């Protein structure tokens, strides 16, 4: 770890240090997330989750008042994420950072974290390698390996022996493909083909036809949320793959905010993921009831829960260590708590939460008439399986 | 403005004053001001290509991104000294501009625009596919710059970064100002206004345009290299259509064909974006939309014409 | 053989959708010589209105789609009178800026009213079926798109070549002053043509929503997609736009069957090759 601090930045640190000593009663948390543009929903979900947590637990942790400051990073834009983070650290003098939806945005601030010794809680970005860039990263979302490997193992246990993978051709898609292929072959299954679909694809028929021609037991996919996922699942349905018995396996594809738009085409899609709004627990029902009460238009999804648990983690760190970054990280390591998604442990090594991964199937809820991810199975206490890969 | 130009070194003095004022006025926002300066440089490169030489482009990000990746890879694999990295970024941007320009500049109009977009899209996909080299969508990481000239270390607040970028932008701006007054600049303007006439008087229109495009590519490459060195990470977004389009909007907002137009447009757009996005992120696009329409309807020549428009208004009263 | 047939069928179906969503742009950009980057915005408006009617008023797919098109035309009419009329006279760059500004306002409005998630246009069960072609199936929806596309191209050809309106339109486009001097109400012709373009955009947006789902950032997300069709087809010719859309659909589909890994690179390399070899057949006003 490079820890050379020039004279000027040492002065800045001094400035930071004194200010912190002076106003230890209020601890600020900078939240960097998209609040505008096509990904603005993330920022909105984060903000709502934080508000729910504060409504439930108050705005103080230990002796400290906690204040959140929001900054709009737009889409994947490391230049902006880094300069906003710098501004938060220098101007707003935050002691904790949170949010970060996109991997490059999170990666770009690693040197800043080391220099300022500021803990950063990732609410979303799911590439394992981020946490290796600095000791100050913590993650309350998930990693792609964490959910893709259990999917493969479960599929093999269900008697699925051959799979074609079809992922969007970019970092996260390839991560998901590698994880699934590794686990499925390890279990003894056959990968018939691995298709990588260009990001700009709007018509998925050619890929779906190729999969159909190879007649595997199932297909495994990973796509960015929104239009690509919509197009892929529609095409899967329209071309009769389901009728031919080719099962759909995925991860984040059926997340709740866009699920209703898929219509009946989504029914029967099987995914492995760490959170379903349909999770059967009193804690989860109370959490959703509170969120719906405070934000009637809001749809609770994995971004909401990532931010909610992240906020809990920050409260715990503040209570244990106040403004002392390294001590806060130590306090976070090994922390256990019960979340609406199930039991969580902050893994001391990977600094990503160890959690249950649920196998879900999309169904239409009889009571509400809405599409939900119904849990069909659970793989307990899964850590970040992609660490070091 | 024109009167100001006649005083020797007035422009230089004004620029230096602005840079010093910005430094002291925004001590906590240096990182943001540095991003504005890099964007100014990028938009200046479009101004040279579009405003002076009349080459319509919506794919300038191809050249910016290539400069960024070249400088980033150079820092990771060869040397982390900033100035050689800048040079590499410039050469990479210029080389791509030259090679693609040979084909592109045989066309014009919408065809040309489409070709520039296509080049940027191909670059983005190549960077995405070459994941082992570029890091793909996760970004190219591991860029840790050495001190500038071995003396000034990149600091936490961004003071070194600010002055480093400011000086580079200052030098390029002056070079472009010289170029605008030089025979090449005048010839480019002539080509912009009437390519047929320039052909008739025997000017090598195509070669001049390739030259201008190559120069623009070099400047865009420097801008990309600066961004890579300051952010210490390069992502696929450096090649995005949005970047090319936003930069073009900034240039037209400020006023094309004038170097100050690029500065005014970038500062205005990015400041409004920054302020509006922090005041009301969900609706900032309204502000930008109305601002863009307002300028195009009331100041068709761009914000740079505002003083003249006000003068005219004053005289009418 | 079946691979070849697959490429042919999917390519034509995809090309037809490309044509449907960009034909409106060919009309405004080609006939009226205005660089209308807000085209995708009109497609989105049609889709959003149809979505709201279906999800909140419970209206069926077909009437909602028709009302969506009507609403888009109703929006385009005053926009043309108040804004576009002035944009016609602008230089190219100002046209780009003005129509981008309009696009931003459309996006911001939809984002404000409907949020940024996907807005579904669920097909009625009758249309959500598949047609059996023997060796494979084709979604009925695509068959309908192909049918509507054919109707649109024949209708446009008849309108422009065989009606009084078409004669006046061609006269107004060729020389507005002369057309005005011989008593043609060029203002009205322009308004009507612009509304036609906007209505076609809405139709394309709604029919294409199965593939390009409606959401607030639709106009920016697919801007390049629309521009490619018009650039390759050349301005001012509905027929060539149609051929370009089919060709592009076939190339993209073929690349996805044959070289899925390098689909994007292959697609844009083809475009560069084509435009570099055949720049002359295209419209060259922007220079």
- Subunits with 3+ Cβ pairs within 8 Å of C are A, B
User: What is the arithmetic mean of pLDDT over C208-221?
Assistant: 89
Shared domain for A64 and A200, answered yes or no, is: no
Of A37, A196, A202, the CB nearest to C261: A196
Alpha carbon distance A156, A162 (integer Å): 9
User: What is the arithmetic mean of pLDDT over B209-225?
Assistant: 94
Task: Scan for tokens 């809990």, then name that residue.
Answer: A312
Q: What is the largest CA-CA distance in chain B?
A: 66
User: What is the arithmetic mean of pLDDT over A67-93?
Assistant: 90
Name the least confident of A7-16, A281-290, B213-222, B285-294.
Answer: A7-16
User: What percent of chain B has a predicted confidence (pLDDT) above 70?
Assistant: 97
Residue A340: CA count within 13 A, CB half-sphere: 29
Assess A89–C contact: CB distance below 8 Å, yes or no: no
Q: What confidence score (pLDDT) does residue A11 get?
A: 45
- Give the domain ranges of chain C: 2-277
Shared domain for A291 and A370, answered yes or no, is: no
Q: What confidence score (pLDDT) does residue A171 get?
A: 86
Shared domain for A103 and A163, answered yes or no, is: no
Does residue A332 lie in a domain region? yes
* B38 pLDDT more than 80: yes
Nearest partner of A11 among B153, B155, B21, B145, judged by Cα: B155
User: What percent of chain C has a predicted confidence (pLDDT) above 70?
Assistant: 96
Which chain A residue shows the shortest CA-CA distance from B26?
A91
* A22 pLDDT more than 80: no
At C236, is the pLDDT very low, low, confident or very high (cuts 50, 70, 90)? low
Nearest partner of A273 among A371, A342, A217, judged by Cα: A342
pLDDT digits (tens, 9 = 90+) for C157-192: 898 888 888 888 888 877 777 888 888 888 888 888
User: What is the arithmetic mean of pLDDT over A211-224?
Assistant: 92
* A216 pLDDT more than 90: yes
Tokens of C194: 């612009």
Assess B106–A contact: CB distance below 8 Å, yes or no: no
In this structure, are residues B49 and B206 in contact, taking their beta carbons and an 8 Å threshold?
no
Coil, strand, or helix at residue B218? helix
Of all helices (H) and strands (E), which one includes residue A196? strand A190-197
Does residue A98 lie in a domain region? yes
At B3, is the pLDDT very low, low, confident or very high (cuts 50, 70, 90)? low
Asked if A203 lies within 8 A of C211 by C-beta distance, the reply is yes
Angle between helices B82-104 and B61-77 (to 10 degrees): 140
Q: Which CATH architecture has domain C2-277?
A: Orthogonal Bundle (1.10)
Alpha carbon distance B250, B248 (integer Å): 5
Asked if B156 lies within 8 A of A9 by C-beta distance, the reply is yes
Shared domain for A234 and A363, answered yes or no, is: yes
DSSP B229-259: HHHS-B-GGGG-HHHHHHHHHHHHHH-TT-H
Shared domain for A108 and A209, answered yes or no, is: no
Q: What confidence score (pLDDT) does residue C176 get?
A: 77
CATH number reported for the structural domain that contains residue A110 in this entry: 3.40.50.2300
Q: In chain C, what is the straight-line distance between the N-terminal and C-terminal CA atoms, in Å?
A: 45
Q: What confidence score (pLDDT) does residue A138 get?
A: 94
Q: What confidence score (pLDDT) does residue B40 get?
A: 95
Assess B283–C contact: CB distance below 8 Å, yes or no: yes
Q: What is the largest CA-CA distance in chain A?
A: 69
Tokens of A277: 């709004």
Residues of chain C neighbouring A199 (CB-CB closer than 8 A): 264
Q: What confidence score (pLDDT) does residue A38 get?
A: 84
The CA-based angle B296-B299-B303, given to 5 degrees, is 100
Residues of chain B neighbouring A169 (CB-CB closer than 8 A): 128-129
Strand residues in chain C grouped as ranges (E)? 130-132, 137-139
Number of domains in chain A: 2
Shared domain for A152 and A169, answered yes or no, is: yes
At A316, is the pLDDT very low, low, confident or very high (cuts 50, 70, 90)? very high
Angle between helices C2-25 and C140-162 (to 10 degrees): 50
Higher pLDDT, A263 or A11: A263
Alpha carbon distance B89, B222 (integer Å): 5
Task: Scan for tokens 């090449």, then name that residue.
Answer: B184
Shared domain for A322 and A366, answered yes or no, is: no
User: What is the arithmetic mean of pLDDT over C258-280?
Assistant: 82
Assess C96–B contact: CB distance below 8 Å, yes or no: yes
In this structure, are residues A74 and A34 in contact, taking their beta carbons and an 8 Å threshold?
yes
Residues 83-142 of C with CB under 8 A from A: 111, 115-120, 122, 128, 130, 136-137, 139, 141
Alpha helical stretches, state H, B47-108: 61-77, 82-104
Of all helices (H) and strands (E), which one includes residue A337? strand A336-339
Q: What confidence score (pLDDT) does residue B79 get?
A: 86
Which chain C residue shows the shortest CA-CA distance from B102?
C276
Assess A231–C contact: CB distance below 8 Å, yes or no: yes
Shared domain for A58 and A122, answered yes or no, is: yes
Residues of chain C neighbouring A37 (CB-CB closer than 8 A): 217
Shared domain for A23 and A123, answered yes or no, is: yes
Does residue A252 lie in a domain region? yes
The number of C-beta contacts closer than 8 angstroms across A and B is 129
User: What is the arithmetic mean of pLDDT over A52-67?
Assistant: 90
How far is C250 from chain A, CA to nearest CA, in Å?
11
In this structure, are residues B137 and A171 in contact, taking their beta carbons and an 8 Å threshold?
yes
Reported ipTM: the value is 0.87
What are the CA-CA distances from residue B149 to residues B31, B76, B81, B83, B158 (Å)?
21, 18, 7, 7, 16
Does residue A1 lie in a domain region? no
Q: What is the largest CA-CA distance in chain C?
A: 61
Shared domain for A66 and A96, answered yes or no, is: yes
Does residue A2 lie in a domain region? no
Does residue A387 lie in a domain region? no
Assess C178–A contact: CB distance below 8 Å, yes or no: no
Shared domain for A328 and A376, answered yes or no, is: no
At C264, is the pLDDT very low, low, confident or very high (cuts 50, 70, 90)? confident
Q: What residues contact A338, with CB distance under 8 A and at least 6 apart?
A: A283, A344
Alpha carbon distance A54, A61 (integer Å): 10
Coil, strand, or helix at residue B78? coil
Shared domain for A367 and A221, answered yes or no, is: yes
pLDDT digits (tens, 9 = 90+) for A147-178: 999 999 999 999 999 999 999 988 889 999 99
Tokens of B308: 């003249």
At C281, is the pLDDT very low, low, confident or very high (cuts 50, 70, 90)? very low
Q: Domain residues for A373? A: 145-273+357-382
Q: What confidence score (pLDDT) does residue A14 get?
A: 44
Task: Scan for tokens 């902050």, then name that residue.
Answer: A346
């Amino acid at each position: 770890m490079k820890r050379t601090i020039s004279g000027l930045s040492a002065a800045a640190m001094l400035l930071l240090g004194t200010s912190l000593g002076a106003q230890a009663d209020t601890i600020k948390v900078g939240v960097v997330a998209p609040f505008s543009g096509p990904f603005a929903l993330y920022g909105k979900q984060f903000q709502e989750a934080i508000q729910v947590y504060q409504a439930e637990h108050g705005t103080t942790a230990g002796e400290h008042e906690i204040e959140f400051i929001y900054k709009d990073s737009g889409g994947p834009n490391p230049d902006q994420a880094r300069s906003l983070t710098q501004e938060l650290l220098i101007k707003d003098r935050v002691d904790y950072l949170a949010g970060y939806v996109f991997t490059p945005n999170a990666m770009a601030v690693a040197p800043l974290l080391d220099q300022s010794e500021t803990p950063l809680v990732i609410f979303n970005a799911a590439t394992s390698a981020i946490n290796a860039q600095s000791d100050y990263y913590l993650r309350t979302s998930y990693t792609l390996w964490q959910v893709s490997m259990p999917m493969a193992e479960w599929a093999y246990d269900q008697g699925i022996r051959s799979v074609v993978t079809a992922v969007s051709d970019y970092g996260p898609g390839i991560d998901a493909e590698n994880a699934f292929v590794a686990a499925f072959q390890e279990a003894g299954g056959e990968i018939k083909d691995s298709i990588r679909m260009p990001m700009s694809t709007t018509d998925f028929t050619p890929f779906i036809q190729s999969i159909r021609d190879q007649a595997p037991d199932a297909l495994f996919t990973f796509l960015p949320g929104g239009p690509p996922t919509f197009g892929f699942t529609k095409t899967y349905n329209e071309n009769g793959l389901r009728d031919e018995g080719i099962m759909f396996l995925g991860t984040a594809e059926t997340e709740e905010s866009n699920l209703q738009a898929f219509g009946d085409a989504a029914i029967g899609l099987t995914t492995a993921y760490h959170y379903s709004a349909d999770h059967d627990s009193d804690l989860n029902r109370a959490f959703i009831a509170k969120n719906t009460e405070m934000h009637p238009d809001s749809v609770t999804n994995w971004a909401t829960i990532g931010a909610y648990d992240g906020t809990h983690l920050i409260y715990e760190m503040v209570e244990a260590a106040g403004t002392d970054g390294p001590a806060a990280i130590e306090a976070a390591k090994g922390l256990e708590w019960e979340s609406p998604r199930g039991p969580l442990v902050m893994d001391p090594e990977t600094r990503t939460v160890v959690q249950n991964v649920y196998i879900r199937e999309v169904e239409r809820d009889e009571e509400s008439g809405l599409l939900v991810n119904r849990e069909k199975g659970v793989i307990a206490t899964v850590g970040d399986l992609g660490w070091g890969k | 403005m024109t009167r100001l130009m006649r005083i020797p070194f007035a422009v230089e003095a004004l620029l230096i004053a602005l840079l010093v004022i910005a430094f002291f006025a925004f001590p906590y926002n240096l990182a943001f001001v540095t991003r504005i300066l890099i964007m100014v440089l990028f938009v200046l490169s479009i101004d040279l290509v579009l405003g002076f030489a009349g080459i319509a482009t919506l794919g300038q990000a191809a050249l910016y991104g290539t400069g960024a990746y070249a400088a980033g890879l150079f820092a990771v694999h060869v040397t982390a000294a900033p100035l050689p990295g800048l040079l590499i970024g410039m050469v990479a941007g210029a080389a791509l501009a030259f090679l693609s320009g040979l084909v592109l500049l045989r066309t014009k109009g919408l065809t040309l625009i489409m070709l520039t977009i296509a080049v940027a899209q191909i670059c983005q996909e190549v960077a995405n596919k070459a994941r082992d080299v570029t890091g793909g969508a996760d970004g190219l990481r591991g860029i840790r710059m050495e001190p500038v000239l071995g003396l000034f270390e990149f600091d936490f607040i961004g003071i070194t970064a600010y002055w480093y970028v400011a000086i580079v932008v200052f030098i390029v701006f002056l070079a472009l100002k010289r170029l605008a007054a030089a025979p090449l600049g005048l010839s480019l303007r002539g080509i912009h206004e009437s390519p047929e006439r320039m052909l008739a008087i025997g000017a090598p229109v195509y070669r001049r345009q390739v030259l201008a495009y190559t120069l623009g590519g070099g400047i865009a490459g420097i801008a990309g290299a600066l961004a890579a060195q300051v952010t210490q990470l390069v992502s696929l977004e450096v090649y995005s259509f949005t970047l090319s389009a936003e930069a073009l909007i900034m240039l037209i907002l400020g006023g094309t064909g004038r170097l100050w137009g690029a500065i005014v447009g970038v500062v205005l757009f990015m400041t409004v974006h920054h302020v509006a996005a922090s005041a009301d992120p969900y609706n900032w696009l309204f502000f930008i939309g109305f601002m863009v329409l307002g300028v195009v309807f009331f100041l068709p020549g761009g914000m740079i014409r505002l003083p003249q428009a006000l003068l005219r208004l004053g005289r009418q009263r | 053989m079946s691979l070849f047939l697959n490429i042919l069928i999917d390519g034509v179906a995809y090309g037809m959708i490309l044509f449907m969503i960009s034909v409106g742009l060919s009309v405004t950009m080609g006939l009226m010589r205005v660089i209308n980057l807000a085209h995708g915005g009109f497609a989105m408006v049609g889709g959003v209105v149809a979505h709201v009617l279906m999800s909140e008023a419970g209206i069926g797919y077909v009437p909602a789609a028709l009302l969506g098109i009507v609403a888009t035309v109703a929006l385009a009419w005053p926009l043309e009178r108040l804004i576009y009329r002035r944009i016609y006279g602008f230089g190219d760059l100002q046209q780009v800026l003005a129509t981008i500004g309009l696009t931003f306002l459309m996006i911001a409005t939809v984002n404000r009213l409907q949020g940024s998630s996907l807005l579904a246009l669920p097909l009625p069960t009758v249309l959500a079926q598949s047609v059996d072609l023997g060796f494979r199936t084709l979604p009925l929806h695509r068959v309908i798109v192909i049918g509507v596309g054919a109707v649109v191209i024949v209708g446009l050809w008849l309108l422009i070549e065989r009606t009084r309106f078409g004669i006046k339109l061609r006269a107004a486009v060729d020389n507005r002053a002369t057309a005005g001097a011989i008593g043609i109400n060029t203002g009205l012709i322009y308004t009507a043509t612009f509304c036609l373009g906007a209505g076609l955009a809405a139709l394309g947006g709604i029919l294409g929503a199965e593939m390009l789902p409606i959401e607030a950032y639709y106009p920016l997300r697919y801007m390049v997609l629309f521009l490619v069709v018009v650039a390759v087809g050349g301005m001012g010719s509905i027929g060539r736009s149609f051929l370009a859309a089919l060709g592009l659909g076939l190339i993209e589909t073929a690349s996805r069957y044959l070289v899925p890994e390098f689909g994007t690179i292959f697609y844009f390399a083809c475009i560069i090759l084509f435009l570099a070899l055949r720049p002359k057949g295209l419209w060259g006003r922007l220079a």
